Structure 1
Amino acid sequence: MKQRNGELGRRALASSGGLVAGYAALAVAELVSVAVRPEASPVTAVGGAVIDRTPAAVKDWAIRQFGTDDKLVLQLGILGVLAVLAGVLGLLGLRYRRSASAGVLLFGVAGAVAATGRPDTVGAVDAVPSLVGAVAGAGVLYVLLARLPVGAGGGTGQGAGRKTEGSEPEREPESAEPERSSEPERSSGSGPGRRGFLMAAGAVTAVSTGAGLWGRRLNASASVDAEASRAAVALPAPDSPAPRLPRGVDLKLPGLTPYRTPTRDFYRVDTALTVPRLDAGRWRLRIHGKGVRNPLTLDFDALLRRRLIERDATMTCVSNEVGGPYVGSARWLGVPLAEVLREAGVRPPSQGGRADQLVARSVDGMTLGTPVETVMDGRDAMLVVGMNGEPLPFEHGFPVRMLVPGLYGYVSACKWLQDLELTTFAAYDTYWVERKWARKAPIKTESRIDTPRPFASLKAGSVTVAGVAWAQHKGIERVEVRVDDGGWHEAELAAQGPVDTWRQWMWRWPAKPGTHTLQVRATDRTGATQTSARARPIPDGASGHHSVVVTVT
C-alpha cells in the first residue's frame, strides 16, 4: 500500500510539474508579446485561429448561449485544454522526459503557426512569443522532472529502470538517460526529494507570476497611452446637427427599451479577443483600389477638419435572433463617407463606376464588404468618430469605424478601420462571406416585445404590452399584436424619429386568467409586413414573429 501511495504521489507531482511548465510558458510568452504586440500572445493567437476556423453555425450557437461573454468562454476553454494537456505531458515525463519536453515545444510551434496565420499578422515576428514561451516551458518541465523523487520501481526518466519480481532491473539502452542514483533523499516518494521538487516548482511559479504580471503591466502602459490619446480628443461641433427629435419619440414605459441606448449598454459582437487600443495620433486611413482616380490617406486630425454630420441611427447585428438583444440606437458623429469616396474619384456602378464593392479592413484583420451603390445612394453612411456625444469607446472602434444605416453590421460597420479598398464582389470575398454568409444583407423588418417578459406572472385586467420595431432606412408604419393566434390588434406607435432608427410601440391588453402567447409583427413604410416564417441568422439575418408566453391570474 505504501509503495502504491508513493507511486500515486509521484504521478501527482509529475502532472503538477506539467502544469507549472505550461504556466511558465504562457507567462514568458505574455512578457515577450509586449515587445511584439499583445495580439501575438499564444492564447489570443490560438483563440483567434479557433474563431477563424469555427463553422458559422457554431459561432451562432456560441453567441446565443453566451452572448457577449462568448470570448471569455473561449479563452477559458483554451486555458482548460492547455492545462489538461500540460498535465498529461507531465505524466508522460515520468518515463519519457525528453519526449514530454519536446511536446511542450510542439505546442509552441502550434501557437506560432496560429499567430502567423491570422489575417492581422505582421509577419514572422508574431511567432516569437509562442516559440520563446515554449522553450522556457520545455526547459522548466525537463528540470522539474529531473527533481522528482525516485519511486520504489527504480526512478524516473527516459526509460527509467524497470524491474519485475524475481529478476534484475532491465538495462537501459545507451541512448536513454542514465538511471537516477539511489541517493537517500530520493529513495521514496516522500521526504527531502519531494520537498526539493515542490521548492523548485514553487520558485518557478513565483517567477512566472512575476513575469506575467510584468508583461500585463507593460501592456497596460501602452493602453494608458491609447487612453490618453482618446481623452485628448475634442470632437468639433457638427456642421449638420442631428434633427431635433419629436415629442413622444420615447414612451418611457417601465421595462421598455429606451429610444437611445446608453453607450455602456450598447451591444458588442466581433471576433477580437483583445480589443485594439489605438493611438489616434498614429492612425491612418487609406482609400484606394479599382476606379479610384485620387487615392487618399487621411489622419485623424484631417478627418476631424472635414464636414461632420450628426445622426441618430439604429444598428443591428446579423447574429441577432428573433427578439434578441443585439440591436441598439445611438447618436453618431462622423464624416459623410460618400463625400470622401467622391473626392477619391469613385463613382457608383449606376454612374459608370468600375467597383461595386467597398472592402473595409480593420487593424485586427477583419474585412467587411459593402455595396458601393448603397453607400452612395444618399443615406447617411459615415466614417464615425463620436458616439452619444463622446469619442468612440475602444470597444466600439476608436478612433474610427464605419456605419451604413439599413445594412447588418457584418457588411457595413467595420470597427478600428484602417483601409478602404474599391473592388468587385466577383473579385473578392470578405471574412464572413468566405464563411457562407450573404454578400449583401439589408436589415429585415423586425419587432420585439420588451414587456411583459417571457414567463411573467400577471394579474388579470389591463396589461401594457410594449416593445420596439425597426426597419432602418425604410421606417415603421404599423405594429400589431395578437394573443393565442387570434386576430391582430394594431398597437399605438411612438412618434416617428429619423427613418434610420427604431420605433417604440404599446398595446393595452385586457388580460384574462390563463396561460397566453403574445406575438408581434411590424409593417414598414414600403408596405412590407415581416414574415412569420422562422429563419436562423445564417446567412442573411433571422426572421419570424417574436412571441412571449405569460401567465395571468
Structure 2
Amino acid sequence: MHQRAATADRTGTRPLIWPARLAGLVAGVAGLALANLGAWLVGPTGAPVSAVGELVIDLLPAPLVNFGKDTLGTADKPVLVAIVTVAVLVVCALAGQAELRRRLGGAAVLAVVAVVGLVGIGARAGANATVYVPTLVGLALGYILLRTLVDRLETWRDAASADGPTSDARRGFLRLTLVAGGIAAIGAVAGEALLGAATRVNEARLRLRLPGAATPAPPVPAAADLGLPGLSSYVTPNADFYRIDTALQLPVIDPADWSLTITGMVEEEVTLTYAELSALPLVEHVATLTCVSNDVGGSLVGNALWLGYPIRELLARARPTAGADMVLSTSQDGFTAGTPLEALTDPDRQSLLAIGMNGEPLPLEHGFPVRMVVPGLYGYVSATKWVTELKVTTFDADQGYWTPLGWSARGPIKLASRIDVPRRTVDAGQVAVAGVAWAQHTGIRGVEVQVDGGDWQPAELAEVTGPDTWRQWSYAWDAASGDHTLTVRATDADGTLQDPAEAAPAPDGASGYHQVSVTVR
C-alpha cells in the first residue's frame, strides 16, 4: 500500500509542482522585463505594472488613497507598484503549475494577467494602439519560455515514471531555468531603470500647466466638422495623430534640462531654455501636418491646435547673415531636417517652436518638450521633434537626414484629397461621400467627385480656421445597385487643380487622384 502510494507520488506531477512554479516565476519575470523594455521604446504609458497600479488608485475609495499617502508619504506609489509586481509574479508561478497539469493551462492564466495589464494601459490618458504592443509581446515571450521550461520538467517526470535516471533531466531543467532567470532578472533591472527615467519625464509632463496664448487661435467654426460617421474629425485627437520618425527609442527629455541653441551663419548665437520659451508671448495656430511618405489616400496626415513661439522672432534675435538660405534643425536623437530660411522668417506663416498640442503639453511621442511646426512643408524637412538646435546655413553646405537618401531638399506639400467614406458596401439610395482635402498654407477652394468616370460633380465644403488646415467635404450620391468607382480631386485657393499623374511618395511626395471601389446593394 505504502509502496504504491510512493510510486504514484514519484511518477505524478506533485513532486514537480514547486519546480513548475519556479518556471512560471521565471517566465513572468521575463515577460515583465520585455514589456518594460518595450514601453521604454514606445512610451511609458505602455508599462503594464504601473498602469495597473494607477488603475488600482483610481478604483480605491478616496479615504483609503489618502490613508496610503499619509502613512507612506512619497513611497506610496513605489509600494503599490511592488505589491502589484509581487501579485503578478505569484499568479505567474501558478501559471507554471497550471501548464504542468494541462497544456495551455498556463497560457490561459498568463492571458488573464495580460488582460488586466491591457485594461490598465487603456485607462491611461492618451493610450493608442502602439502602447499595447509591449504587453502582448511580453505575454507571448513569457508563455514560450514557460512552455520550454515545462517541456524540460515533463522530461524529468517521464524519466522518473520509467524508473530511469533523472539526474540529466533534472540538471537540464535547472540549468535552463538558472540561465533564463538570470537573463530575465538583468532585463528586468535594465528595463526598470530605463523606464524609470521615461516615467519621471512623463510625470513631469503631466504636472506641466501650459501658459495661455498671447495670440489665441480663432475658435474652430461649428461648420468645420460635418459630423459624418467615418469622416476624419477636423481636429485630430492626440492619440490618433500619426507618428513617423527615425527614433528607435523614444527620446525622453526633462523640460528642466532642455535648451535650444541657434548657431551657424548668425551675428549672435541664441540659447533658450524651456522656462524662457514658456514665458514668451505664445501663439496658438491650427495646422495640418503631412508626411512625405503618405500614399494617395493615406492616413499619414493630421490636423491639430499647436501652441508655440514664432521661430522668425528667435531668428530675428540671431540675425542671419547674408547668403544663408536654410536652417538645419537637429533633434535630441540626432535626426536633422533642412528647412528653407524664407519659410521660417515669413511673417505670414506661423512656423512655431511648439510646446502644446490640442490644449496639452506635447505627448512624448510627438516631440515633448519642444518640436517644430511649419505649415506648408512635409514633416521630413520641417517638423523636427525633440528639437535642440537650429543651425542657420545653406543648402549647398548642409543636408537634412533624408536628402542624401534621395529625397527632395525642400519638400513643399502637394495639393491632395482623400475619400474617407463610404468604403466597401452600402445600401442603395442617397449615400454621403466625404473626406478631406489639403493644400497647407494655400487653402482649398473646391472639391469634386466623379462616379464611374462620369462628369465631375462639386462637393460641399466645410468651414476652416485658415489656409493651413485640411478641409472636410461631402457629396450626396444617389447610389444605384452594382459595383462603382468613386474618385476625388481638389482645387487650391490659387486655382491650381490637383495633379492627376500618379507618382510614388519618393522623392517629393505622392500625387494622383484617390479612388475607392464601392458595392451598392
Tell me if both proteins adopt one fold, taking TM over 0.5 as the criterion: yes
CA separation in 2, counterparts of 1:496 and 1:211? 53
The structural deviation recorded for 1:343 is: 0.6
Q: Which amino acid aligns with 2:366?
A: H
Q: CA deviation at 1:191?
A: 4.2
Of 197, 214, 233, the residue aligned with 2:172 is 197
1:206 CA drift (Å): 1.1
2:419 is matched by which residue type in structure 1?
Answer: I
- Tell me which of 341, 364, 367 is aligned to 2:333: 364
Cα 1:201–1:247 shift into 2, 3 Å: closer
2:248 to 264, 269, 273: 273
Does the CA-based 8 Å contact 1:241-1:311 persist in structure 2?
Answer: yes
Give the counterpart letter for 2:416 in structure 1.
E
Per-residue CA deviations over 1:16-65 (Å, capped at 9, x if unaligned) read xxxxxxx9xxx9xx99xx9xxx88xxxxxxxxxxxxxxxxxxxxxxxxxx
Question: What SS class does the counterpart of residue 176 from structure 2 fall into?
Answer: helix
Does residue 338 (structure 1) correspond to residue 308 (structure 2)? The answer is no
Q: Distance in 2 between matches of 1:240 and 1:525?
A: 25
Structure 1 partner of 2:207: 232
Partner of 2:113: none
Q: For residue 237 of structure 2, what is the amino acid of its counterpart?
A: P
Paired residue secondary structure (1:468): strand
- Measured after TM superposition, the shift of residue 197 of structure 1 is 3.2
Partner Cα separation in structure 1 for residue 377 and residue 416 of structure 2: 13
Residue aligning to 1:390: 360
Picking from 391, 407, 420, the partner of 1:437 is 407
Q: Determine helix, strand or coil for the equivalent of 2:202.
A: helix
Conserved? CA contact 1:68–1:269, under 8 Å: no
Q: Report the equivalent of 2:76.
A: none
| Maintained 8 Å contact 1:317/1:326 | yes
What is aligned with 1:495? 463
* Partner SS, residue 245 of structure 1: coil
Query: Does the CA-based 8 Å contact 1:497-1:503 persist in structure 2?
Result: no
| In structure 1, distance between residues paired with 2:199 and 2:364 | 12
Return structure 1 stretches of 4+ with deviation > 3 angstroms. Answer: 67-70
Q: Secondary structure of the equivalent of 2:316?
A: helix
Say whether residues 1:532 and 2:500 are aligned partners: yes
- The aligned amino acid for 2:340 is P
Corresponding position of 2:445: 477
In 1, Cα distance between equivalents of 2:381 and 2:408: 9
CA distance in 2, matches of 1:374, 1:421: 15
The CA distance in 1 between the partners of 2:464 and 2:495, in whole Å, is: 16
**1:272-351 → structure 2 map (5 Å cutoff):** 272-290=247-265, 292-346=266-320
Q: How far apart, CA to CA, are the structure 1 residues paired with 2:443 and 2:404?
A: 31
Q: Distance in 2 between matches of 1:345 and 1:271?
A: 31
Match of 2:397 in 1: 427
Cα separation, 1, equivalents of 2:411 and 2:249: 27
**Maintained 8 Å contact 2:328/2:399:** no
Distance 1:405 1:244 in 2: 19
Q: Match for residue 18 of structure 1?
A: none
Deviation at 1:68, TM superposition (A): 8.7
Q: What root-mean-square deviation, in Å, do the aligned CA atoms of Structure 1 and Structure 2 show?
A: 3.0
Secondary structure at the residue paired with 1:431? Answer: coil
* Cα 1:195/1:385, change in 2 over 3 Å: same
How much has 1:225 moved relative to structure 2? 1.8
Once residues 226 and 68 of structure 1 are traced to their aligned partners in structure 2, the CA distance between those partners, rounded to angstroms, is 21
Q: Which residue of 2 aligns with 1:412?
A: 382
User: Match of 1:147?
Assistant: none
Determine the C-alpha separation between the residues in 1 that align with 2:346 and 2:498: 24
| Amino acid across the alignment from 1:384 | A
Equivalent residue, structure 1, for 2:323: 354
Distance 2:477 2:214 in 1: 45
TM-score (norm: length of structure 2) = 0.69
> When the two structures are superposed, what TM-score results if normalisation uses the length of structure 1?
0.65
- Count the aligned residue pairs: 382
Q: Is the 8 A contact 1:464 1:509 kept in 2?
A: yes
**1:461 maps onto 2:432 in alignment:** no
CA distance in 1, matches of 2:235, 2:284: 14
In the alignment, which residue of structure 2 is the partner of 1:164?
A: none
Amino acid at match of 1:314: T
Q: More deviation in 532-541 or 207-216? A: 207-216
User: Is residue 377 from structure 1 mapped to residue 352 from structure 2 by the alignment?
Assistant: no
Matched residue, 1:252:
227
Identity of aligned residues (%): 48
Question: How far apart are residue 224 of structure 1 and its match?
Answer: 2.4
Please report how far the alpha carbon of residue 69 of structure 1 lies from its aligned counterpart in structure 2 after TM superposition. 6.6
1:552 paired residue number: 520
State the distance in 1 between where 2:222 and 2:232 align.
17
* Alignment partners' CA distance in 2, 1:204 and 1:245: 59
Counterpart code for 1:346: P
Q: Per-residue CA shift, 1:185-232, capped at 9, x if unaligned?
A: xxxx97423432331221121122112111111122212221232123
Q: Say yes or no: does 1:219 pair with 2:194.
A: yes
Q: Return the offset for 1:297.
A: 1.1
Which sections of structure 1, spanning at least 5 residues, go unmatched? 1-22, 40-66, 84-188, 348-352
Q: Which amino acid aligns with 1:420?
A: L
Give the counterpart letter for 1:338 in structure 2.
Answer: R
How far residue 273 of structure 1 moved from its aligned partner, in angstroms, is 2.1
